[in-house]
Amino acid sequence: QNVYYFYSFFHDFPFPIAAKGGLLNFIFRGKKDQKRVSNGRGFRSPGPPSIVQLPQVPDTMRQTDLPTDRERIETEIIKSLIESYFCIVRKNFIDMVPKTIMYFLVNHSRDSMQNELVSELYREANIADLMREAEDIAQRRKTCHEMRELLRKALDIVNEVRDFNTFK
HSE-up of residue 14 (Cα within 13 Å, Cβ side): 5
Q: What is the pLDDT of residue 47?
A: 62
Look at residue 4 in the predicted model and tell me its pLDDT.
40
Q: Where are the domains of the chain?
A: 2-97, 140-168
Local confidence band at 136 (pLDDT 50, 70, 90 cut-offs):
very high
Give the three-state DSSP class for 104. Answer: helix
> What is the tens place of the pLDDT at every residue in 100-123?
999 999 999 999 999 998 888 887
> What does the pLDDT look like over 20-72, one tens digit per residue?
555 556 556 554 444 444 444 445 555 666 788 888 888 887 878 898 999 99
pLDDT for 13 equals 46
pLDDT digits over 75-92, tens only? 999 999 999 999 999 999
For residue 43, list its beta bridge partners: 38
CB atoms within 10 A of CB 165: 8
What pLDDT, on the 0 to 100 scale, is given for residue 9? 47
Q: Given this model, what pLDDT does residue 8 score?
A: 45
Q: What is the pLDDT of residues 142-162, one digit of tens each?
A: 999 999 999 999 999 999 888
Say which residue, 131 or 106, is predicted with more confidence: 106
Which pLDDT belongs to residue 17? Answer: 46
Q: Taking 50 as the threshold, does the pLDDT of residue 16 lie above it?
A: no
- Strand-pairing partners, residue 44, are 37
pLDDT for the residue numbered 85:
96
Q: Which residues contact 57 (CB under 8 A, 6 or more apart)?
A: 9
Say how far apart CA 72 and CA 80 lie, in whole Å: 12
Q: What pLDDT score was predicted for residue 166?
A: 64
**Torsion of Cα atoms, 29 then 35 then 37 then 41, to 10°:** 0
